[in-house]
Amino acid sequence: MCPVSEAVPHTPIPDRSASARIGRAFGLFSALLTAPALLAQADSRDVGEGLTVRVDCARQHVYVGERVELTLHIEVVAARWGGQILDEVTMLRGLSPLNFGPFPVGPPARTRVLSTADADALPVYAYEWDATILVRHTDALRFDDIAVELTSPSTDGNVALRAGSAATTIKVLPVPQRGRPRNYSGAVGVFAMQVSASSTDVRVGDPIQMTINVFGDGPVETLPPPNLTADEELVHSFRLPEGPLAGEFVDSIRRFVLTIRARHENVEQIPALLYPYFDPVEERFIIARSEPIAIRVRPAVTTVYPFRDRALSGPPFETRAAVLLRNTPDVSPTAVAVVTLLPPLAFLGVWAALALRTRGFALAALILLSIGGLATAARAQVIEPLSSKRRAEVLTAAVQGLQLADDAVARGDDPRPHLQQAAAGFRALRDAGLRNAGLEFNLGQLYRRLEQPGLAMLHLLRAQRMAPLDSRVRQGLDELRNSAAISSVGRGTPVESGASALLQLGLPPHARFRVLCGCATLTWTAMFIWLRWRRRAVLTIGLCGLVATLVCASSLAWQIYRESCHPSAVVVGCPTLLRASRANTHPATPEEHLPPGTEVYVHEQRGDWFAVTTRGGRSGWLRHTAIQQVRPSTADYSSY
């Protein structure tokens, strides 16, 4: 033992009452006093013959994370009373702790009578208390606040002696970086490790519960978990849980329980695990090793995820934020009418006013044109309940769900929870008012992978309506239409036929509306200029623009009329009966069952029933809850 404290001289202080002394006597103390900081090294100065205090430590310097054992020595010179020498028990009763720091207040761990060279000298009683502290940071250990008091009888009455410690330091060092193993996790002490597995005969992907027990000399109850991700052989052979391991302290053992899964059938053993630790006595790093565990891994059952091929098939998802956060509002009949009819009316009014030399009428016509344009622009404003930051966060979570689903499929796990997470994110963006082909395409592909062909067909048709020339949308629709369930209802002309695509000029409604606005602006700007200068070239430009304006307006008007009178719809949900009349009691043959994803035209609505025609040409009645229209209602879609 190396002394790290020295004695302190004592001074007599006034006597205390007997009750106060007894209340502080060691024999009656059971509480545990703790110093404000368990960081100290103390010396005590020699008090002469009465009282000596010393704190001993076996080490001159310690390391962060080390458990340090300390010993508090108190030596008391025996007193005489009534001609007799008081024994060690009686002297202990007069010893009172003013501050014991990290040492427990109570009976001492050891009591000894020290021998002296002088036979006539009073005996010296030595009392020792033990304490263990955990060094948590690099501040020097100090015990300068430890103090005790001794009350002993004398010929002059009771005399109180007080001894305290002076400040000295024990140096605290950080765990060295030199020689530190790559998988070192912070253990300081001397440890060993044992590993066990719940099963040794498994298939690829089956869970194996592995128990890791770490024990030894050191702060076992606070040991960090082993760094398993740094073990290349273990990571290559097994799938490990994500995140840090949670341990428990059981019977002086630090226990970690985790679930691992074999990646392939070539795995023959759970390799020996490594647990590096730093030995503060030898001042070097040592690696504790477990024994390898032999296991047998058989091939996985092929039906781990029955929809694996479908989950991996199809065109890739749209993940670009600039595309998915772009808004594509629908076109209303009012906007087309305003852009198409208001400028020529204003032109005729100005022409008539100029012919009649009535400038006030011309000004009124221009004001009318401006008001119409402002009204159209006002209707184009889209309400976006979510902030830009929140939309970006939702999109990031949805795209992350897609990536996690792909990873799950590659591992042979069920990706449906991740696909549902992604679908919920894209639906939240759609509910917030965002409309674009990329969003609808992703929802269609997600519902296809989730085996919901009705919703998949609905969103893919909406994506085609917004982007009729997108090859990924066409590929997704072709694959879905060629599936066994949907193709069984008959092969007919698709709802979006080639003639329909021709009349739409190969452009979605919002793009044609923008072309219409540009042509109308060019046309009537040229016509108003022609009213002032009467140049043939200006008139030619105006007439050409007029033709383009009429073509775009006719295309939009035809589509709006067609979607209003005979909207396209999709059967969603469970298989639905196509009935000959609006009665649930009408018999239906198996051929009249329409599976989810069947495309239909809606011709008429009577109450809760729709008169529809399928792609194969069959007609009948469906309940309104069985289908959803491809073009959402005005309340669902923001419009110009």
Show the 3-state SS of 238-305: EECCCCCCCEEEECCEEEEEEEEEECCCCCCEECCCEEEEEECCCCEEEEEECCCEECEEECCCCCCC
Q: What is the mean pLDDT of residues 144-173?
A: 74
Best CA proximity match to 62, nearest among 7, 3, 138, 5? 138
Quick: pLDDT tens for 27-44. Answer: 333 222 222 322 223 333
Band of residue 512 on the pLDDT scale cut at 50, 70, 90: confident
Range from 333-342, 350-359, 465-474, 556-565 carrying the lowest mean pLDDT: 350-359
Cα 262 to Cα 265: distance, rounded to the nearest angstrom: 7
pLDDT of residue 25: 37
Quick: pLDDT tens for 159-172. Answer: 677 777 655 678 89
pLDDT of residue 492: 47
Which comes out higher in pLDDT, residue 330 or 543? 543
One-letter amino acid for residue 362 of the chain: A
Q: What is the mean pLDDT of residues 280-286?
A: 92
Cα 425 to Cα 395: distance, rounded to the nearest angstrom: 6
pLDDT of residue 63: 92
CA 325, 331, 332, 333: dihedral to nearest 10 degrees? 180
Instruction: Retrieve residue 73's tokens.
Output: 């020595």
pLDDT of residue 150: 85
Q: Which residues pair with 614 in a beta bridge?
A: 600
pLDDT of residue 367: 56
Cα 570 to Cα 629: distance, rounded to the nearest angstrom: 6
Enumerate residues 6+ apart whose C-beta is below 8 A from 19.
none
pLDDT of residue 151: 83
pLDDT exceeds 90 at position 476: no
Task: Tally the C-alpha atoms within 13 A of residue 15's C-alpha that lie toward its C-beta.
Answer: 10
Would you say 64 and 125 are in contact if contact means Cβ atoms under 8 Å apart? no
Please report, for residues 234, 321, 606, the alpha-carbon distance to residue 261 in angstroms, rounded to integers and kept in the order given.
10, 35, 58
User: Where is mean pLDDT largest: 227-231, 379-383, 571-575?
Assistant: 227-231
Which comes out higher in pLDDT, residue 563 or 66? 66
Cα 314 to Cα 419: distance, rounded to the nearest angstrom: 15
Q: Which helix (H) or strand (E) holds 536?
A: helix 536-565
Instruction: Retrieve residue 339's tokens.
Output: 């852009």
Which comes out higher in pLDDT, residue 347 or 543? 543
Instruction: Retrieve residue 199's tokens.
Output: 């099963």
Best CA proximity match to 166, nearest among 7, 43, 10, 9? 43
pLDDT exceeds 90 at position 12: no
pLDDT exceeds 80 at position 153: no
Instruction: Retrieve residue 573's tokens.
Output: 């949900």
Quick: pLDDT tens for 401-456. Answer: 888 888 887 777 788 888 888 889 888 888 887 888 888 888 888 888 888 888 88
Instruction: Retrieve residue 49's tokens.
Output: 């013959």
Cα 95 to Cα 83: distance, rounded to the nearest angstrom: 21
pLDDT exceeds 80 at position 14: no
pLDDT of residue 500: 53
Three-state SS sequence of 325-381: CCCCCECCHHHHHHHHHHHHHHHHHHHHHHHCCCHHHHHHHHHHHHHHHHHHHHHCC
| Long-range CB pairs of 622-628, under 8 A, 24+ apart, other chains included | 622/571, 622/576, 622/578, 622/579, 622/594, 623/576, 625/573, 626/571, 626/572, 626/573, 626/576, 626/594, 627/569, 627/570, 627/571, 627/572, 627/576, 627/600, 627/602, 628/458, 628/569, 628/570, 628/572
pLDDT of residue 40: 29
Range from 35-44, 152-161, 451-460, 495-504 carrying the lowest mean pLDDT: 35-44
Range from 165-179, 227-241, 252-266 carrying the lowest mean pLDDT: 165-179
pLDDT exceeds 90 at position 78: no
Quick: pLDDT tens for 89-128. Answer: 888 888 888 888 888 888 899 998 887 767 677 888 899 9
Q: What is the mean pLDDT of residues 121-144?
A: 86
Q: What percent of the chain has pLDDT over 70?
A: 76
Task: Give the three-class secondary structure for 171.
Answer: strand
pLDDT of residue 159: 67
Which comes out higher in pLDDT, residue 285 or 553? 285
Cα 557 to Cα 559: distance, rounded to the nearest angstrom: 6
Sign, CA dihedral 554-557-562-567, equals positive
Token pair 């902030």 is found at 387
pLDDT exceeds 80 at position 624: no
Q: Where are the alpha helices (DSSP H) in 36-123?
A: 88-93
pLDDT of residue 38: 28
- In degrees and rounded to multiples of 5, residue 418 shows phi and psi of -70, -35
Instruction: Retrieve residue 624's tokens.
Output: 């309104």
Which comes out higher in pLDDT, residue 167 or 287? 287
Instruction: Retrieve residue 415's tokens.
Output: 């990706």
Band of residue 7 on the pLDDT scale cut at 50, 70, 90: very low
pLDDT of residue 361: 52
Instruction: Retrieve residue 280's tokens.
Output: 């503060």
What distance, in Å, lies between the first and last C-alpha atoms of the chain? 89
Best CA proximity match to 571, nearest among 610, 606, 597? 597
pLDDT exceeds 90 at position 55: no
Task: Tally the C-alpha atoms within 13 A of residue 392's C-alpha that lie toward its C-beta.
Answer: 4
Would you say 468 and 437 are in contact if contact means Cβ atoms under 8 Å apart? no
pLDDT of residue 168: 60
Which comes out higher in pLDDT, residue 526 or 489? 526
Would you say 296 and 200 are in contact if contact means Cβ atoms under 8 Å apart? yes
Cα 612 to Cα 619: distance, rounded to the nearest angstrom: 6
Band of residue 363 on the pLDDT scale cut at 50, 70, 90: low
Residues in the chain: 640
536-565 vs 509-533: helix crossing angle, rounded to 10: 150
pLDDT of residue 156: 59
Q: Which residues pair with 276 in a beta bridge?
A: 287
Band of residue 299 on the pLDDT scale cut at 50, 70, 90: confident
Which comes out higher in pLDDT, residue 498 or 534? 534
Q: What is the mean pLDDT of residues 354-372?
A: 58
- In degrees and rounded to multiples of 5, residue 561 shows phi and psi of -65, -45
